[in-house]
Amino acid sequence: MKLRKLPGNKPLIILFAYLSIFTFSHNHISLATEQTTEQGEYNVIDNLIVNNRNKFKTVIHESEAEGVSEMRKLIASSLIEESWAYLSHQQKWIEIGRNEEAEKKIDKRYITKAELDIPLLDKLMNENNNMVLYHFHPSHSLSLEDKIRKREKSGTPMDNKEIEKERVKILVKSSYPSRSDLLNMIGNSMEFFERNAEGNITFKVCSHYGITEYYLTDEGMEYLHTGNSFKQILWVKEISSSANIEVNVKGEILEMNPMETRDPLKRIKMSPKQKRKPVSRYIIIDPLTRIRRAIDTMNDKHIRVTFTPYH
């Protein structure tokens, strides 16, 4: 376990072992653990890739928009997460992930493991006062595959509509940072600002629907500086739980449909059956609205979380 030191010699402990005490209200958990590793060589390549071989780190020279475009392809095809530091002043992506593993089931929970190369990240923080730490959440879901198989074995297979509904729920949940993502953000933010008091660091997770950015406010930095590790753990748990509650509303998230107005000419052309059909009192809120509502619940004076859909 690596200790991050706060100003005033107060330790901020990234207690990934404590993650086991959390009760997650959804099954997809991203455990972004940190581990000290020996720095390997760099391989300069043309496009972002998922590299979990640990023999070398990849470096890509391109803009942020180009990198995000390539990451979207990885989101759709990869079973493994990957992480990079993006240096905008150099238009440079540097891989910081290590020992990434595909999603697997542990103690009835579905977990994706992705470690960070701490010596490399420390080196980058020493050399750069402006950086973005990126990672992505794959669209693949082992939990959905398992659910489909179980329903088939029970003799009540899921139809296409049910499968699509479950898939959308999972993709919505993958759009916001997990608790371990938030813990990593806290620890790495405190470490970064020790070295770069006037610098800027932010964190972004790319998912199926868009990019979610999350970072500490000045009030959040002060709160963590004067707090203790256990209080930080509880704070992150509360933030992420509020988003889960918002997303996991029973059934479909619905709202009242405003009074329908129909073009008189359209009504004349309707069949008698269409005319008699009652107008639905509800409309289903689309996934992007769900995501924004969930992410809005994570914001307070200490932390900012924003969601930007892909264009």
Q: 192-209, pLDDT tens digit by residue? A: 999 999 999 999 999 999
Check residue 108 and give its pLDDT. Answer: 77
Q: Where are the domains of the chain?
A: 3-309
**pLDDT reading at 311 higher than 50:** yes
Which residue would you say has higher pLDDT here, 193 or 5? 193
Element (H, E) at 235: helix 229-247
pLDDT band for position 293 (cuts 50, 70, 90)? confident
Per residue in 131-160, pLDDT (tens digit) is 999 999 999 988 888 889 999 999 999 888
Model confidence pLDDT, tens digit, residues 48-70: 999 988 889 999 999 999 999 99
Given a cut of 60, whether residue 165 has pLDDT beyond it is: yes
Distance CA 95, CA 132 (A): 12
* Span 245-280, pLDDT tens digits: 555 543 344 344 444 455 556 656 667 666 555 555
CB 49 within 8 A of CB 78: no
Is the confidence at residue 230, as pLDDT, over 50?
A: yes
Q: Which strands make up the sheet holding 115-117, listed edge to edge?
A: 34-35, 115-117, 97-98
How far, in Å, CA of 300 to CA of 127, rounded?
A: 31
Kindly give the pairing relationship between strand 200-206 and strand 130-136: parallel
Which residue shows structure tokens 């770069």? 196
CA distance 82 to 71: 9
Q: Is the pLDDT of residue 1 over 50?
A: no
pTM above 0.95?
no
Report in angstroms the alpha-carbon separations of 167 from 141, 204, 217.
Answer: 8, 22, 33
What is the per-residue pLDDT for 16? 35
Q: Is pLDDT above 60 for 216? A: yes
CA-to-CA distance for 42 and 59, rounded, in angstroms?
A: 7
Residue 162: predicted pLDDT: 86
Confidence of residue 14 (pLDDT cuts 50, 70, 90): very low
7 against 183, higher pLDDT: 183
Q: What local confidence, expressed as pLDDT, does residue 180 receive?
A: 84
Q: Residue written as tokens 């297979």?
A: 157
Mean pLDDT of 284-305: 85
Structure confidence at residue 227 (pLDDT): 63
Provide the pLDDT for residue 36. 38
Question: What's residue 31's pLDDT?
Answer: 46
For the stretch 75-119, pLDDT in tens is 999 999 999 999 999 999 999 999 888 888 888 777 778 889 999
Secondary structure E strands in 191-261? 200-206, 210-216, 254-256
pLDDT band at 244 (very low <50, low <70, confident <90, very high): low
Classify 226 as helix, strand or coil. helix
The pLDDT value given to residue 82: 96
pLDDT of residue 211: 98
pLDDT tier for residue 283 given thresholds of 50, 70 and 90: low
